[in-house]
Amino acid sequence: MVSLVTIGRVWAACDVGVNAAASSMTLLFLAPLIWIGVAISWVLLYGTLGRRHRSAALTTGLILTVCVTWCLVTRLGMVDSYPAPRCAGNVPPWWPSFIPT
């Protein structure tokens, strides 16, 4: 999952967490929850819109997935309350400036 990998890289770049093992366990715990949430949204989307308009359902689903990924990365990955000594504002240096955090 792209969101989990990105969150892990943000945490590693900004030195968030106790150590790599603790951060990995947190992401391992979050993985099924995130997957189930996104899968349920796709099932509901296909059940309501996909039977009549498949291309609209696919487009809406992709936009929804991108929005959920952005929300997860910016809310879970870039923790505002955590003092990140390496990253200014808890935003890693490799994060594109045109994507808001």
Q: Among residues of the chain, what percentage have pLDDT more than 70? A: 91
Summarised one tens digit per residue, pLDDT across range 40-91 is 888 888 888 777 888 888 888 889 888 888 888 888 877 776 766 777 777 8
Distance CA 51, CA 58 (A): 11
Q: Which residue reads 């990995």 in tokens?
A: 24
Nearest by Cα to 15 from 98, 97, 90, 100: 90
Helical (H) or strand (E) element with 10: helix 2-14
Torsion of CA 76, 81, 86, 87, to 10 degrees: 70
Instruction: Indicate whether this model's pTM tops 0.85.
Output: no
Q: Which residues contact 89 (CB under 8 A, 6 or more apart)?
A: 101
Domain boundaries, the chain: 2-90
Q: Whole-number mean pLDDT of the chain?
A: 81
